[in-house]
Structure 1
Amino acid sequence: MNQEQITRMVREKAVPYPTQTIRLVETHISWVLLADRDVYKIKKPLRFSFLDFSTLEKREHYCGLEVILNRRLAPGMYRGVLPLKEQEGTIRIGEGEGTLVDYAVWMKRMDEGRQMDVLLEAGGVGQAEVRDLADILADFHSRARKVREAETWEELYAEFEDISTVSEWLGHRFGKETGHLVTEINAWVRTFLKGISGRIEERKAAGFVVEGHGDLHSRNIFLLNPPVIFDCIEFNEAFRTLDVLSEVGFLCMDLERFGRADLADAFMERYQERTRCIRDATDRQLFLFYKLYRANVRLKVHALQLQKGLVSGASRQVELKMVSEYLRLFRGYFEEGKGFV
């Protein structure tokens, strides 16, 4: 599939059920068609170091895997996989005559007004909602596949240290001290992770490393009754294999980005009550590190968009705002944790 074909499908409303409108949302790896009652997600034919959608067979495989994995937390949302077929130059989603050209993940369209990030912006999230999320995730993690062999402290550091790819740009945009800060934090993280490497291994043996969601932030949550957590990472098993503290640390970091440390605390109080995932002071330090790590990743992603000139106009201003927010968290978590070593 290519952009021209997708644009034509949107124009022709080439979906299996009648719809008044179709809106196209594009990510760097997918095209998402939002019809009145359904959503169709088509994977782009891409290959990166962390993802391979380069062949029809692989896209079929990952469409199926996406449905299976997301039904763990969003069983009523993920309907299945549908073929895309071409006949006489027209491509449509759904069964029927024609030549198979691709696949789409078929989902129920949810109420976007109930998306958690939207509600956070409007001040519409309270402690009851985050405690419900903590219960859901505690149950999910207790059932999830335990992984005894996972990334080492060296591999975790290598992922963290990759923030260096944007340190020069950050220095130009936010001042030289910011570029120096990245170097300082990287050095601290290496010392910290090496020092607690034994505990990282112990947590694997204790069952705290699981095949989880992998992308747990507020935009991937609908606060319905019950809440629906969707869009887990299907394309790379390593990305969804993680310590539960990394998983919930992502959500807590996101809540703190919205200025809701109170909600992050309420969430963790309930999650800790249910799981006892923090056993000692070292585990508390590790939880702070994972929030730092998640801020690092989001900072890098948004900075790269700007560094590579991939956004302009209003979108550029949005990206700059996001970089500033994640940089604030990145610096704050380091200031809180640097006394550990």
Structure 2
Amino acid sequence: MKKLDRNRQMDVLLLHNKVTGTHITRLAEKIAAFHKRTDIIYKKDCWDLHLKFNDLAAEIPYLQQFAGEAGEDRADIINRAIDCSNSFMERQHHLLMGRLEAGYFRDCHGDLHSRNIFLLPSPQPFDCIEFNDEYRQIDVLNEVAFLCMDLEAFGRPELSGMFISDYNRFFPAIRSPEEQQLFLYYKAYRANIRAKVNVLRARGADDDLGRDALLTEAGKYLLLMDGYLNDLNAGSPAS
């Protein structure tokens, strides 16, 4: 077993502004190559995505109790997000089914974000989801949306844009305006999940300071989710 240099982990490099365009292009090429050769999934319940999205509603009472003055605002964001998610999925369920039939659902990494990537001469993702096939066998666009959302959470939207542009050049996964909208939805979904994870961690915090820090982090992802969904609504034919 070889121990990798923690200083080459992508999240650490992002904090020190050391992630370059070359890193991003090499990573996009590697992820695209992996997605091209991994198993295609032809049987999948595409409709369960919005149910996972709606799970965040269970955290509203906790946020209202412990998030201070922001609690009600966070609750409003969640309720708006769920309405938007339900509406989008009703309109675009056919799009998901079409992508499933076209082979865009594959046996992916499942947890592709900057803390799970080393930027070596050849980028090295690690720590894929092995314990749950359902979380790993997803639309490739859902997979890369996680990384792009993470880059934007670090305040690097230009790297996110570069990654999806390069990835789409190596493996065209966005071929239409509808699929561009789906990519936005997937980013909102990933921000939703990160928000929920931070709220659940806050519930188990040992002290008020730790709890408040985690709730602040959850709030960051809720605002990011809200921004994606506002963009989604702005681009919707029904808007």
Whether the TM-score (by the shorter chain) exceeds 0.5 is: yes
Deviations 1:8-58, CA, capped at 9 Å, x for gaps = xxxxxxxxxxxxxxxxxxxxxxxxxxxxxxxxxxxxxxxxxxxxxxxxxxx
Residue in 2 that maps onto 1:117: 11
Matched residue of 2:106: which SS? strand
Which whole-Å CA distance do the structure 1 matches of 2:114 and 2:216 have between them? 17
Equivalent of 1:277, from 152, 156, 173?
Answer: 173
1:167 aligns with 2:63: no
Residue in 1 that maps onto 2:49: 156
Which whole-Å CA distance do the structure 2 matches of 1:227 and 1:314 have between them? 36
Equivalent of 1:142, from 28, 36, 47?
Answer: 36
Q: CA deviation at 1:317?
A: 4.9
Q: How does 1:91-130 map to 2 (within 5 A)?
A: 107-130=1-24
Q: CA deviation at 1:108?
A: 2.4
Equivalent of 1:320, from 207, 211, 215?
Answer: 215
Equivalent of 2:93, from 194, 197, 207?
Answer: 197
Larger Rg: 1
CA RMSD in angstroms, aligned pairs only: 1.4
Deviations 1:127-151, CA, capped at 9 Å, x for gaps = 1101111000110000010001112
Which whole-Å CA distance do the structure 2 matches of 1:171 and 1:334 have between them? 22
| Matched pairs, number | 233
Q: CA deviation at 1:313?
A: 5.9
Q: CA deviation at 1:219?
A: 0.2
Which whole-Å CA distance do the structure 1 matches of 2:219 and 2:78 have between them? 14
Which whole-Å CA distance do the structure 2 matches of 1:330 and 1:311 have between them? 27
> In 1, are the aligned partners of 2:78 and 2:222 still within 8 Å (CA)?
no
Which whole-Å CA distance do the structure 1 matches of 2:214 and 2:197 have between them? 10
Identity %: 39
Which whole-Å CA distance do the structure 2 matches of 1:128 and 1:322 have between them? 29
> In 1, are the aligned partners of 2:77 and 2:222 still within 8 Å (CA)?
no
Report the residue type matching 1:206 in the other structure.
A
* Greater helix fraction, Structure 1 or Structure 2: 2
> In 2, are the aligned partners of 1:185 and 1:334 still within 8 Å (CA)?
yes
Q: How does 1:202-241 map to 2 (within 5 A)?
A: 202-241=98-137
Q: Which has the higher contact order (CA 8 A, sep 6+)?
A: 2
Q: How does 1:1-341 map to 2 (within 5 A)?
A: 107-153=1-47, 155-172=48-65, 173=67, 174-306=70-202, 308-312=203-207, 315-339=210-234, 340=236, 341=238
Matched residue of 1:108: which SS? coil
Matched residue of 1:197: which SS? helix
Report the residue type matching 1:129 in the other structure.
H
Which whole-Å CA distance do the structure 2 matches of 1:205 and 1:144 have between them? 16
Give the direction of change, closer, same or farther, for the CA distance of 1:317–1:117 in structure 2 (3 Å limit). farther
> In 2, are the aligned partners of 1:145 and 1:210 still within 8 Å (CA)?
yes
Give the direction of change, closer, same or farther, for the CA distance of 1:313–1:111 in structure 2 (3 Å limit). farther
Report the residue type matching 1:258 in the other structure.
F
The answer to which of 255-264 and 311-320 deviates more is 311-320
Give the TM-score normalised by structure 2: 0.93
Report the residue type matching 1:303 in the other structure.
V
Report the residue type matching 1:127 in the other structure.
G
Which whole-Å CA distance do the structure 1 matches of 2:186 and 2:168 have between them? 16
Segments of 5+ residues of structure 2 without an aligned counterpart are none
Give the TM-score normalised by structure 1: 0.66
Residue in 2 that maps onto 1:41: none
> In 1, are the aligned partners of 2:187 and 2:228 still within 8 Å (CA)?
yes
Which whole-Å CA distance do the structure 2 matches of 1:311 and 1:248 have between them? 34
Report the residue type matching 1:166 in the other structure.
E
* Greater strand fraction, Structure 1 or Structure 2: 1
Which whole-Å CA distance do the structure 2 matches of 1:170 and 1:130 have between them? 36
Report the residue type matching 1:319 in the other structure.
L
Report the residue type matching 2:14 in the other structure.
L
